[in-house]
Each structure stands twice: as C-alpha cells, then as structure tokens.
Amino acid sequence: MLEAVGAATVEELFDIPPAIEFDGAFGIDARSERETRRLVRSMLDRNDTLTELLGRGHYGYYIPSLVDHLADRSEFLTSYTQYQPEVSQGFLQVLFEYQSLLVELTGLEIANCSMYDAATALGEAATLAERVRETSGHRVLVPDRLLEGRRSTLENYVAGTDLVVEEYPLDDGVVDLEALEGMVDEDVVMLYAENPTVRGTIEEGLESIGDLATAHDALYVLGSDPIALSLLQRPADVGADVVVGDASVLGLPTSYGMGLGLFATREDFLRQVPGRLVGVSEDATDRRAYTLTLQTREQHIRRERATSNICTNQAWVALRTAIHAASLGPHGMVDLAKRGVTRAEDLAEHLDEMTGVAAPVHDRRHFREFVAHVDQPAAPIAEDLERRGFAVHVVGEHEIQVCVAGVSDAKLERFVAAFKEVVQ
Amino acid sequence: MLEAVGAATVEELFDIPPAIEFDGAFGIDARSERETRRLVRSMLDRNDTLTELLGRGHYGYYIPSLVDHLADRSEFLTSYTQYQPEVSQGFLQVLFEYQSLLVELTGLEIANCSMYDAATALGEAATLAERVRETSGHRVLVPDRLLEGRRSTLENYVAGTDLVVEEYPLDDGVVDLEALEGMVDEDVVMLYAENPTVRGTIEEGLESIGDLATAHDALYVLGSDPIALSLLQRPADVGADVVVGDASVLGLPTSYGMGLGLFATREDFLRQVPGRLVGVSEDATDRRAYTLTLQTREQHIRRERATSNICTNQAWVALRTAIHAASLGPHGMVDLAKRGVTRAEDLAEHLDEMTGVAAPVHDRRHFREFVAHVDQPAAPIAEDLERRGFAVHVVGEHEIQVCVAGVSDAKLERFVAAFKEVVQ
Amino acid sequence: QYEPLLAEKDQTRVEIGDDDDSPLPDDLTRDSLELPELSEPELARHYTRLSQMIYGIDSGPYPLGSCTMKYNPKFTEDVAALPSAAVHPDRSERSTQGSLELMYRLQDYLGRIGGMDAVTLQPPAGAAGEFVGIRVAAAYHEHNGEGHRDEVIIPDSAHGTNFATAALGGYDVVSLPSDEDGRVDLEALEAALSENTAALMLTNPNTLGLFERDITEIAEMVHDVGGLLYYDGANLNALLGRARPGDMGFDVMHYNVHKTFATPHGGGGPGAGPVGVVSELAPFLPSPRVRESEDGASEPSYELFEPDHTIGKVHGFQGNWLVLVKTFAYIARLGDAGLADASAKAVLNANYLASQIGYDVPYEPFHHEFVASAGEQDAADVAKRMLDYGVHPPTTKWPEIVPEALMTEPTEVESKATLDRLAAAFNAVADEADGALEAAPNRTTARRIDQTSAARNPRLSWHALEDE
Amino acid sequence: QYEPLLAEKDQTRVEIGDDDDSPLPDDLTRDSLELPELSEPELARHYTRLSQMIYGIDSGPYPLGSCTMKYNPKFTEDVAALPSAAVHPDRSERSTQGSLELMYRLQDYLGRIGGMDAVTLQPPAGAAGEFVGIRVAAAYHEHNGEGHRDEVIIPDSAHGTNFATAALGGYDVVSLPSDEDGRVDLEALEAALSENTAALMLTNPNTLGLFERDITEIAEMVHDVGGLLYYDGANLNALLGRARPGDMGFDVMHYNVHKTFATPHGGGGPGAGPVGVVSELAPFLPSPRVRESEDGASEPSYELFEPDHTIGKVHGFQGNWLVLVKTFAYIARLGDAGLADASAKAVLNANYLASQIGYDVPYEPFHHEFVASAGEQDAADVAKRMLDYGVHPPTTKWPEIVPEALMTEPTEVESKATLDRLAAAFNAVADEADGALEAAPNRTTARRIDQTSAARNPRLSWHALEDE
C-alpha cells in the first residue's frame, strides 16, 4: 500500500509542522480485550448493589429480554443516520413507528424521532416557543420545584435568546392555579407543567393551565413520559402544544442519567420542529418507502438558521423504547401504569402506619412515587436505608421521596421492614 | 379459527381416550419472565465462584466477545438442520469452514461437522472400527487412565457389538510402549491413544504406536483438541486413522461438561463416517453452493443400516468453535498452545520450590497441565484450596493435577501463594 | 451476494519449530499451521453476511412436521449465559449446589410432565435419549436373566433414529406396518411380539398426528410378553397437560427439549434428550443422577449418585448442560397453564391450517401435525417452490404411508395471520404447473442445488477445492 | 420483502375508565389507548426483518467523510451491559464510586489525548459539545467584562452544527472563505477578527483532510484580539498520538467519541461529545465534574463538584453514560500504541484508496479523508449507484469548495482487500453513463426515494396514513 501511494513510511503522509508534533506518549497502557473487560468490571463493581426507589425521571422498569436481543443486532447498532434511505428502510420504519407511538400517546400530530433527554427537550421547547411566539414576550414559566438538571439546561438553551425563566409555585404537590393566574400575562411565551409532578402527584388542573396559556398566547408545554401517558390525561385533550419528557422509562435501565428526549407537538409547528423527522414517501417503483424528511429545518442544510443544532440524537434508544412498548402492547402499558398508582398507594399506606411517618404528604392521587414526612431528620434515615441496601431521595429536611417502579413486591416488603427498623 | 375447523372448543380436537386423560395439574407454577430469570439466577448463584485449575478435557480459555455477538445472531441460533440448503447457505458454509479447520489441524482428509463430545466421538470411532475392520478381531485397546466418562461411554457404544474394551498401561505419564507391544495382536481392531495425555504429558511415542497399530491392521485413533493440535505433532504425520476429542476447548466456557465431539478420519472411510458432512456442489446457475452430503449414510435414510444413530448434533457449538478459531488466527492458536507449555512449566517450577511438593511428577514435557506430588494427603489440600477460591483435581492419594489454561497470570500468582500457605 | 470462504480471503502459514521461541523440541511439534488470519471487522462481516443467508425461526414460519420448530423465547438465552452457569464438570458437589439444584428440579419437572418416576438429563440429544432407553431396556432384561431378548419392534412410520438406535444397541429390528387408519395394526403387533421382544418403540401421537387410541391395549400386549414400551417424545408437545406417557403404560421415554420446550435448534444442535423411566427401570439409568442429600442443613442440598445397576455413561458428563438450563427456564416460565395452553394452540393451529389448504389430508383426527398429500405433484418440488413464497416448507416424502407427503406442524407459536400466509403459500404452489415447481427455488440465496454432484465428487474442506 | 407496519399487523384499543379496575377517577385518565398488540415471535420477526433492511458497518465499508464510521469492537457492548453500570443518577456518591472512578479516569484520558487541562463528559453528542464550548466561551468573556463580544468566526467549509450552535448560543456568525489551497485564508481571517470576536471554530485537519499548517499563527491572531480558539474534534482521529489540539493553541475542543474512539453510531445516536478546555476555562465547565476526594482512604475515592463559575448543565445529568463506558473501554484497550496506530492506518488507507480511484482529488496532502470530485457526474447520483455495488457511498456535495464532492474517509479498520473492492465500485460508477446513475439504486430494499413528495405531503405517523 505504501508503494501505491509513493511513500516510504506512513509518517511521510502526515503534514504536521514539527513545532507541534507530539510524541504519542499519553501514558495510557494497552491491554488485552480480556484485561480491559476485567478492568472495567472491577471498577464498576465499586458501585454498591442497591434496590433503587429513586424515580424522579429515571425508572428501573423491567426490560424484556427481547429488547436487548433485537436492539443488539449489529445492523441497528452500527448503522449511521439514514442519509441513504434506500439502504436504511428498516431503521427508518422503526423510527416512524416510534413517532407513531408518541403521536398515539400524546394525541398531538407530530413527534420527532428524539432529543437527548427530557432536559434538552425542554430547552428545545423554549427555543420553539421563541420562534413561533406571536407576542413580543420573553417570559418562560416553570414550576418552582423543577428538577435542577432540567432547569439549568433550560437556562443554557435560552441564554442566547432574550427569554428569561421564571418560577411559579407548586402548592401541596400540584400547580397553585391561583398563584399561576396572577403571574401569567401577555409577556409569557411558554408555560411549562408536568404530569405527574416531580413529587409524584397527578396534576389535577391540566386543562385550566392550558386555558391560561391559550388565553395569553403562550405555548403550553407539558412534561410527562410514555408510561404515565398510557393512563393519565391525554395532552391533546388538555390543550397542550408541546409534550416533552424522557421516553427512556421504556427501553433503558437506570443508566446514570442517560435518557431519550420525547418531543411531540402540533401540526401547526411542523416547519419549526427541532430534530429529525421520518416521513413516508414512495420509491421509483411506487412502493411505500420511509425517509428523513423536512431536512431543510436542520443544521446540515440550514446552518445558523436551523431549528436546532442537534445532529446525532438518540436513535438507538428510541429503537429500544419502541421495542419495549411493542412488547408490552397497549394492555401491558396501561396495566403497568395502573400498577404505578396502586402500588404507590399501597406502599404509602404501609409507611403511613409507622409511628413518626406520614405518607403521602400530599392529599392527592399519586403516580409511581410520593413524598413521605418523617419526624426524624430525613438524611440520616436515608443513609441508614442505604446501609441496608435501599436508595431513596431526601427532598426536604423531614421529607423522603420513594418510587415503586421496577421494584418487586418482595423487595418492597423488605423495604417496608427496613424502613420500620430505621424509624423506630 | 375454531369456526373454520368446525369445533366449539379446542378440547374437541383432542382424540384422547378418557381413561388416560390427564388433568394438567403438574404442580408447576407459572412465573413472569422477570421472576423466572430471578429464580434461575438465585439458584445458580449457589455455585461458588472459584478459579478453576481443572482441565482434563474442559478448559476456560478466554472467549473473545466477538464469538458471542456473532453466534447469538438469531439466524444461527434458531434455524434447523440444513435440509433445505437453498435457504441455509450461511450455516452450511460455516460448517464447511469448521470441517476445513479440522482437516488442517489433523492433516486427515475428512472431518464431520460434529459429534456430541469427546466421549461419544470415541464411541463412534469404535463402531467405525467395527465396520471397517479387516480382521475378525474384537479387542479395543485404551489407556488405563482414560477418563471415566470416555471409558464408560465407549463401553455403551460397543455393548451392541462383539467388541471388548481393554486397557494398556500409561507408564510415567505416557504410553508404556513395551507393555503395549506385548498386548497388540491381530485380534486388536482399534488402538486409542491421547496427546496430550490425561496427565498433561506430551506423548513421545505417537509414531511407534501408529506403527504398532498399522502392523496389526488396527485402526489408530488419536485423542486431542484444536489447541493442542495447533502445536503438537500432526496426527496424519504419525499415522492416525481417526482423530477424536473435544473441539469446544475453543468456543465454549467450561459448561458443566457440555462439549463438541471432534471427528476426523481418512478419505478411505468416507462412506463409513458417522455424523453430518457438508460438501460443495453447484446450484442451477452453476454457482458454488454448499449442502449436506452423503446422507445415505445417515439414519433418516439408511435407518438400521446407518453409520450412526446421531441426528441433532452440536452444530451451533461448531459455529462458536469456528469463530473462536478464526478470531485467534493461526498465530493466535500457535501462541496459545505455546503458552500452554511455558506457563505450565512455570507453574510447576513454582510449586516444585515448595517443601513437600514435587512438580511435575513426570519427567516429561507438559501441555497446559501437570500432576504434582504432595507429601501430605491430597484431598484435604484440595479442600483447603477450594476454601481459598481455587479448584484443583485430586488424582491420587498424594497427587494433585493443575491446569493453567485460561487462568490469568495474576490469578496464578495468587494460587501459588495460596498453595504455599496450604502445604506449609 | 456470494460470500468467499475465509480461506479465500486469507491464508497465513505459521512455521513452527524453526524459530527460537518454540518451547518444545521439533520432534514433538508439527511443522506449520496454515489458516486464515483476519481482523475482527473482517470476521464480523463474514459471519454477519453468512447469517443473513439463513432462514431461521425468527425469519418466519417453519412448519416442519415431527421436527417441530418453535419460536425460542429470548430470555432463556440470558439465563444460560449467566457466568454462574459456566462451571467445570469436575468441580466438587459442595461448590456446585446451584447446578445440582437446577438439575434436580428439572428431573422433577420432567418426571411430572411425562408421568415418569425417575429421569436422567444426560443424553445430549433425542437420538442419544433413545440409545439410553434401549441400553436401559437391555440392562433390565439382562438383570432379569432375559438377555436372550434380541428384537425391538418399530412401526414403519417411525423416525429413522429409532431403527438406527436399536441397531446400535445390537438389536434386530422388527418393522411393524400401520393399519388402514394410520395407526398400529394390533394383529400385526400380536404377530410380531414374542419372547424375544425386548421393546416396542412408539410415538404418540404418531407421525400422522393421530393418537394411538389403543395404547392401553398395546401396552398390555407388550407387557404380557415381557417386553418394554418405549415412548419417542418427538410429539409430546401435542399432549402437554392432557395425557402422560406414564399413564398410558409406557415404561421409558425420551423428551426432545427443542420440540417440546422451545430450546433453540442451533442449526442442528446442541439438543438434549432426557430420559424418564418407571421405577422398575430407575436403577439402570446412566450415572450420575442428582438427589437431595441428607446432611440436615437448613437449605436443601444436593448430591450426585450412581444408580445401583447403572448402564454407566453415554456422554462425558451430563450432556448439554446449557440447553438444560434453557429447558428449566422455559418450563418454570410457563407452568401448568402455559404448558396446557401450548398443546391447545398447537392442535388448534394444525387443524386450522389444514382447513385452509387445498391439499388433501387423508388421515384424521390429527393433533399438532397433519400429513397432506401433494397428489400428482412431487412433494420435494412443492417444498422448493414454497421457499419462493418466503416461508419454510413442511417435512416432505415422509411418512411414506401418504403419497408425496407434506408433513406439516405449524406449532403453537404462529398467529392466525401467519397461518393464513402459510396457507396462501401452500395454495399458490398447489395451483402451479410442474415446470414452475421444478425450476424452483428462484428467490433464495442459492437456486436448486445438485445433490448428486455433491455426493459423486465429495469436496468436504477448502483443501479439497484447492486441487480443482 | 416489504414489512408491514406494526399497526398494519394489529391495532388493539384499550378502553380506560369504564371498567372497575381503574385506580383513578375518569377525569384524571385518558379515554383509551390504541396500539398494536403482538406476540413475542411476531415482534422478533418484525424487528429481525427490519434489521436486515439496514446497511451497517458490519455489512461492509462505510466511507462517510467527516462522519467517520468505524467498526465497533464488540467487547465494549459487554462492558456497557454490565448490571453494575446501571445505576440511578441520583444515587449517593459513596454508593457509586465505580461510575465516578470511570468518569474520572476517562476525563484524564481525554485530557491527555487532546492536550487539555480539564474535561467535562456531560455533552450527549458532538453538537452538544460545541454548545458547551460556545457557552463556556461566552461565560468566560462575560466573566472578564467582555460580554460585548458577539461574533463567532467559522470557515465556510465547516460542519453545519458549528453555525447552528453559534446561533443557538446567540452569536452572529462570520463566515470565513478558504484560500486557494483549501485552508484558512489568513488575510480573510485578519479581516474577520475584531474586538467583537468571541471565538474562531476550526476543524484540523479540515474537511478536505488538509492540516491547517498555519495553526500556530492562527491561534496567535485569534488570541491577539482576545478571542478563543475552538477545536471541532470531528477529525481528531487523523492526529491521534501525533499532534494535540492543546499544543496547537486551541483553548476549547470537543471529542466525537464515535468518530475518534469507535463507539457505535446506533443509526443516529446515542453519542457523546466531551469537552476539553485549557485551565483558564475550567471554572466555567458544566456541573458536576468528577475529582478525587481527599478523604484519605486507602483506595482513591471520587466525588462530584461544581466548577466555580460553571455554566450549569446542558443535560439532565451526565450525558450518555453508557457511551462513556464504551469510550473508556476502547481507549483502555488500545493504549498509546494502538491510538497512534489508528491514525497511521486511517491516513494510509485514505491515501491508498485515493490512489486507486479514477476521480480527481484536487486538494492534498490530505490525511484521513479526501474529497474527490465527481466532475461531470452528479455526486448524489454517484452515491446512489455505488449502493448497487454493495458498498456504502461517501458523503456527497460537501464541502462545496470541491464541485460534486465525494468526501471519502475509509478509516483505519478497512483491509486492503476491502479498499480495493471500494475502489472498484468507485471506478465502475465513474465509467457509467448518467442514465445508469439516475436510475440507481436497483439492488437495494427500496429504489430511489422521492424526497420532494415526502416533504410536500408530510405523513409522520401511521395515524397520518390511515387518512389516505
């Protein structure tokens, strides 16, 4: 090969000025495949094995074995973005089916085929609001208990705009409608609410919030996820303009924060949607074919006038989510959601029976998780529980939040026993 | 569907006399997929995690990740025997390549595409000997230290014939040529030797044994495996008529005895070979195509005159072995074999340095494993080692056998330290 | 589309013995080794491409009568891949309680399912299971001073392995014709039975899918002459939870785990062929088996043991262990209800499919499989042509009692939509002319393959191709 | 061949709220959910079939210039699948020392490889890395009272993400033309730089594969006006072990782990775009980062911390963690020698391939990629036609500096045999008439797809198809 290119050595082919040449000594040792696996395994073994009752956006639902086996097929794992649709029909169809799943769940007409996670999807919703706003407004309203990752990411996304993020209060776990009403005016371009809320309560005023947003020409953005959406009010029915969230509650285990940004919106905003869209077309023989479409919105064509800078997104995670949803089917999804309600209620009841514990603290309906009040300081209780193999959230000086998703009945029983010992 | 078949219930379709109907109550509980996985995992977790220095036919060589990823492709895993070769070309080619690997390793012209394991391959070799014998003889000679599983299986395979199995002595770890010479006569139809021997020694008299067999018209059957064959004398060069063994030293972890019967032989015996053979042919467009061939030897056509009763064999394991061998390549295979010699020598040296230990007991060259003499009783030493996380063989009152294959240098070091503590 | 052989991509010869680093003297080593040396990406592409040239159960329906190809639930692969499943066969019993417990419980499950008193898991495939059955029968007769019994009776429609196994066991085979209904001809059986009868091997439902209604009588007849009744488990999936070989009078049986319990077939194995026996035969089973040990610990513990009059081994250790793990997981997942549901759907699917195809099905009432006749068409050609419709054909030309047999078993896993697709393929081919059939297949990786040329000029390795 | 949509196989509507077992009052629930309900075998076949309609890196060469498609070593999947890797992001630091150690060591590796002082692993893709870079630059300028800087300079041949990211960050984009050699035009740069310059974004080697020889001078010029120099890591694989952005004067850079370190692309993600910065910028990096903690334990322990002037977060937690695990494993496997070998082979392969094809390659000396010109042919048509030869085509029509560009990057993983096959495909297409090109592809799952129709009549879900 060197002969063919007319070089005596490979080094000749590099055109690097001597002054900035590097000698290659990073100080990184090479290892065999086996040694590398052993190294990573021994490192990760330093993670304690805990039963996680954490929730708050990431859930350990059981993932059917089928999902791994199919998603790991190398054609899925090792292909590129579908710029040559003629040899990518399989992946495009999966993404189209993923979009369809979200359309069914949200009731909105359009879903893109992924953002990075809920936080960045929220950020993109704000830039969408900026692009489509009908007023000169600049206020973005979010709940005061918004997860820090979402709040901070949103701030970064609007940093290059004239939007400002402001908080409205959650009262007793749900939106304080009265307070919100007092805050909304024509200057508001986007109003964000979540269902369930970060404290696990099921929001009761979704339609009223939507009415408020509509009355003031603000974009109504709703945060949720596919399991919650299987049972709770359909966003389209409460007037939502955009739905964001983390779709990886299906398809991914708790992966240290890795996610899958769900983004669905109304048809009106078709040309302003961020991210990739798969559409249907025909090939030269008039057969149905799938393709990435409306690419003129995207950075590789529109450059600085693109609807987003996103390029590589979370396609393979969307595939996993689609397969997981398909293997649950509609009955499985609805059942899983229902159990999220009943099992949380059951657990709350068990905790509530203990002296010095009141659960749930909010007199609301809960989905999957809830906050418990503990008379003793919460932090030492959580530490004690961790020593006994359970991870829970401390969300206030005397408040602990727990989540039942993905935790087996047997483990919940052991958790109740451990909790009892700890608070006694 | 019931309507189409004209039945009111599925039960109507069953034609089982009432007297022998069963009510279906096996007393086996159904479980969710998740619970089933948990059940099996918790059961198997009762297996202690030990570093295995066991060998003697089963080895824990590192299996590259590539092997699992490719072999687990469902087309390989879920297809049937290739009776419709037009839709099975991929698997047939893999089996053809597997046969070619064995042909290269043994130097013999024919290899089938698998028997169950080394023991059954040895049994099949004996029935081959019976079919092709040129004398009226009936003696089958095997080494006196033959693994019990092989010996016993062989006995069952010849139980329906007039062959009898007799033992010749291994002296100081290798074949006692003088004793063997005294035993061989015209009545011997098969002479079986192994390289390496069960005690890890490299057989030095392979050619002489072959000469003995040939001189008496006996089939010379050699036991070995693909790693040993990569370095040690080529069976064809020492006159072997048949090579048997366990090919799963490549491709399978130690799987509680699961194996892959290697079976290669000379072209002369083509019509008498047991098991499946893949050959090359052409399709209707004259392109090369693979197919199962010489099926008239097999049970589904020849019935009671078949060369064997084998039907389902170990095709998928052969696939794994082929991929493992391919990923090592010839350099990798030879290197792995060489390290089997040097690392065993190193370990023997370390053990030999200890007071009360002599290793190896045989003044021979060793492959992968060797026997050590311990002054103290061997059994308690092995038990003590097991408590320290190491599994070794007790092969005599004062003899322990150890194997280095697949054990990392770091673990061997720890083993030496543990051994020292135990014998002190 | 054509994928070259590995050896056509690379051949690298490694010389041994002439370099400094060989740890052995030349006379103990080979001279060289010549094999392909390819990178991981090249190998990944090679095998990925080859896999794409294979029709598997994940490609579509696979209605091979009697061979039984079911969909294999993916999760069983995961449990078999657990690192804790990978232990050496010579490990101590105290350090392998997990493996022993799984085997113990699987022995128990299988005993219940077959109505058998004792089970060995050792046979690595169905044919090996048959061999164990025949060897156990021989040992039993020998033990009872009846070593003279040298005949095994087998219906002419039986699997080839039955005949080959009996022969391997040293028995003379007495072939039994079917009666006009397709079942065992009792008169012919009467004539075949004698004091030389060691055993009758039977499949029930038989290969026509018909239940042997006279099974109780057959059992009596065999037992009356001192013979044993062997159950070939190939069709047990038709009876799961509805009838048990033990209750029918069978003395010994094998289970085909891929046919009855959906472990993957792997393109020809590994399988497992556990054998169940009634208590009288238990002492003759292969060694070792697993039992609870009586060490009085809080957790039950298990040990290996050697049956009193064991025939010894038919495999180096305990057969295809990883397949047994999958089998256990499959049964534990389904439970009583799931197992009975499997046979219900298998039988319904077979009956539905038969009702939708134009080919004649001469024998009924069938259970999980039926044998249609291709009539004037050549059944093998029908099969090749079906490949063009993207489905796998049934087993053909067997059993011979049906002319141009199309032995069809859709199994319980197929949906109505798939059965309809399969029926459409049958019916499309049924309407085609012989010419179209003989020219088939056209849409497969390879076109019709010349079997004669392969056998006449055997080329069984890439070395053989080099000479061309 | 055509695979129906899941919804064409089944649609099952579940009504909610009108049954007894709904745990919620009707006004808190939706009315119904209608989705496909299919069995595991049906799903396995659906996705298996779909996978077979995809060209992946395991199918053959994928020479997408600048996109960089490398073979992904399989073992990295296994480490990412370890159960111990699956932890919740809100777990305590003391219970996740393993994850923290891996991140700490990966930060360290990446810092060494890029010649950077501090690294954040948070950005979930390259574009997100760019965004962090731009936000960090903005925060730095703001912190120094230079908040007025509102321009980012970008060469016209740069990736679209550079422009979109600068815009998302609120900057005006100043586009920079190339000189006639295909590199940064220093005079144009001089003209573009001003006291309003926040940063210059540069790829090196640039998209033509050419090394920006004047990089030291460029860095001086940018720094002289108080701007920062941003390195787009898309082409870092060309320099591994031979030159480092930090040594060239870059202040901030992102790494594309799939391009440089062979993590799988997954059909469009998940990726990871870690960002490295010089020490002056470290206080502005996203929060949290990982550092060794000083608790004096025997084993080193790790903790999260918030950089002093952090820009906050650009992702809910730490980006695509599982991708980071694969990245770490890949780097730890290769080590110094393997990394340098990768760039050597990448550059040799590009040069060899270019030497074997008939198309003109106007700019050189290129490194890991080259841009050929299809000349009179339409580059997009060339690409479609190459599909017919069983290989994936290069990136086309970009950068625009080369007419009908074929931007080609074979990467280090391809063997000479594969490069020869790829060259043969290029050359076959080069000799063909426009008609053949326009009619292509013919041997793919779908023929040429009508893009206009897809955009004019957007049908983005199966619901949209129902109306048809």
Q: Is the pLDDT of residue D1 over 70?
A: no
Identify the pLDDT of residue D126.
96
The single-letter code of the amino acid at C165 is T
Question: Among B157, B137, B155, B115, which residue's Cα sits nearest to residue B167?
Answer: B155
In a shared domain, residues B17 and B94: no
In a domain, A44, yes or no: no
Place of tokens 């797809």: D449
Of residues D318, D237, D249, D243, the one with CA closest to residue D278: D249
The reply to whether C11 touches chain A by the CB within 8 Å rule is: no
In a domain, B46, yes or no: no
Is residue B115 one of the residues assigned to a domain?
Answer: yes
Query: What DSSP element (H or E) covers D159?
Result: none
pLDDT digits (tens, 9 = 90+) for A287-344: 999 999 998 888 888 888 889 999 999 999 999 999 999 999 999 999 999 999 999 9
Beta-carbon separation of B65 and D77 below 8 A: yes
Is the model's pLDDT at B368 over the cut of 70?
yes
| Whether residue A189 sits in one domain with residue A77 | yes
SS3 C254: strand
Contacts of B323 in chain A (CB under 8 A): none
Say if residue B159 is in the same domain as residue B295: yes
CA of B147: how far to CAs of A62, A160, B173, B198, C90, in Å?
45, 76, 14, 7, 11
Which of residues B271, B293, B322 is at a domain's end?
Answer: B322
pLDDT of residue C397: 94
CB proximity under 8 Å: A 24-83 to D: 24-33, 36-37, 39-41, 43-50, 52, 54, 56-58, 60, 64, 66, 68-70, 72-82
Check whether residue B117 and residue B226 sit in a common domain.
yes
Residue B274 touches partner C, C-beta closer than 8 Å: no
Please say if the pLDDT value at position D468 is more than 70: no
pLDDT of residue A299: 81
A-contacting residues of B 365-384, CB under 8 Å?
Answer: none
Question: A289 and A180, same structural domain?
Answer: yes
* B25 CA to centre of own chain: 40
**CA angle centred on A108, ends A107 and A109, rounded to 5°:** 120
Residue C413 touches partner D, C-beta closer than 8 Å: yes
D378-387: pLDDT as tens digits: 999 999 999 9
Instruction: From first to last of the 468 residues of chain C, give the pLDDT tens digit.
Output: 689 999 999 999 999 986 668 899 999 999 999 999 999 999 999 999 999 999 999 999 999 999 999 999 999 999 999 999 999 999 999 999 999 999 999 999 999 999 999 999 999 999 999 999 999 999 999 999 999 999 999 999 899 999 999 999 999 999 999 999 999 999 999 999 999 999 999 999 999 999 999 999 999 999 999 999 999 999 999 999 999 999 999 999 999 999 999 999 999 999 999 999 999 999 999 999 999 998 766 778 999 999 999 999 999 999 999 999 999 999 999 999 999 999 999 999 999 999 999 999 999 999 999 999 999 999 999 999 999 999 999 999 999 999 999 999 999 999 999 999 999 999 999 999 999 999 999 999 999 999 999 999 999 999 999 866
**Which of C58, C74, C76 to substitute to test the interface with A, most A CBs within 10 Å?**
C74
Q: What is the mean pLDDT of residues A173-198?
A: 96
Please indicate, yes or no, whether residues B96 and B222 belong to a single structural domain of this protein.
yes
Structure token pair of residue D22:
């709904």
Say if residue A222 is in the same domain as residue A354.
no
Question: Other CB atoms closer than 10 Å to residue A301's CB: what's the count?
Answer: 11
pLDDT (0 to 100) of residue C296: 65
- pLDDT value at residue B301: 82
Give the pLDDT confidence score for residue D467 in this predicted structure: 64
Which residues span the domain enclosing A7? 2-36
Of B298, B322, B346, at which residue does a domain stop?
A: B322
- Which of the four pLDDT bands, split at 50, 70 and 90, describes residue D296? low
Annotate A299-334 with three-state secondary structure. Answer: HHHHHHHCCCCCCCCCHHHHHHHHHHHHHHHHHHHH
Residues B206 and B280 in one domain: yes
ipTM for the complex? 0.97
Chain C positions touching B76 (Cβ under 8 A) are: 51, 54, 56, 266-267
Confidence of residue A66 (pLDDT cuts 50, 70, 90): very high
Answer yes or no: is A250 within a domain: yes
Number of domains observed in the structure of chain B: 3
A375-395 confidence digits (pLDDT tens): 999 999 999 999 999 999 999
Tally C-beta pairs within 8 A across A and D.
607
Residue C128 contacts residue B116 (beta carbons within 8 Å): yes
Residues present in chain B in total: 424
How close A45 gets to chain D, by Cα (Å)? Answer: 6
| Same domain, residue pair A154 and A88 | yes
Domains and CATH numbers, chain C: 6-51 (no CATH), 75-332 (3.40.640.10), 336-453 (3.90.1150.10)
Find tokens 């009744």 and name the residue: C229
Q: List B residues 21-40 in contact with A (Cβ-Cβ < 8 A).
A: 33-35, 37-38
DSSP letter, residue B73: S
Confidence of residue D2 (pLDDT cuts 50, 70, 90): confident
Is residue A247 less than 8 Å (CB to CB) from chain D?
no
Shared domain check, B373 and B244: no
Task: Identify the band that residue D266 occupies on the pLDDT scale cut at 50, 70 and 90.
Answer: very high
Distance from CA of B70 to the nearest CA of D (A): 9
Judge if A255 and A106 occupy the same domain: yes
What's the rounded Cα separation, in Å, for the pair D119 and A150?
22
**DSSP SS3 for B357:** strand
* Inside any domain, residue A41: no
Q: Which of A322, A338, A372 is the last residue of a domain?
A: A322
- CB A103, CB D461: distance < 8 Å: yes
How much is the pTM?
0.97
User: What value does the mean pLDDT take over residues B392-415?
Assistant: 97
- Pairing status of strand B390-391 against strand B51-52: parallel
Q: How many CA atoms lie within 13 A of C85 on its CB side?
A: 23
Q: Which of B317, B289, B328 is nearest to B61 (CA)?
A: B328
Of residues B407, B399, B413, the one with CA closest to residue B362: B399
- Which pLDDT score, from 0 to 100, does residue D18 have? 64
What per-residue confidence (pLDDT) applies to D294? 80
> Cβ–Cβ of D42/C9 closer than 8 Å?
no
Average pLDDT of chain B to the nearest whole number: 96
The predicted-structure confidence for D103-156, as pLDDT tens digits, reads as follows 999 999 999 999 999 999 999 999 999 999 999 999 999 999 999 999 999 999
CATH number at residue A377: 3.90.1150.10
Cβ pair A389, A39 in contact under 8 A: no
Return the pLDDT at B130: 94
The verdict on residue A360 lying in a domain is yes
Q: What is the DSSP string of C83-111?
A: GGG---TTS-GGGBHHHHHHHHHHHHHHH
Q: Examine the pLDDT at D300 and tell me if it is beyond 90.
A: no
**Distance (Å) from the alpha carbon of B62 to chain A's nearest alpha carbon:** 7
The model's pLDDT over B250-293, given as tens digits with 9 standing for 90+, comes to 999 999 999 999 999 999 999 999 999 999 999 999 999 999 99
Are residues A335 and A294 part of one domain?
A: no
Say whether pLDDT at D295 is over 80: no
Of C58, C72, C159, C65, residue with least CA distance to C410? C65
Band (B298; pLDDT cuts 50, 70, 90): confident
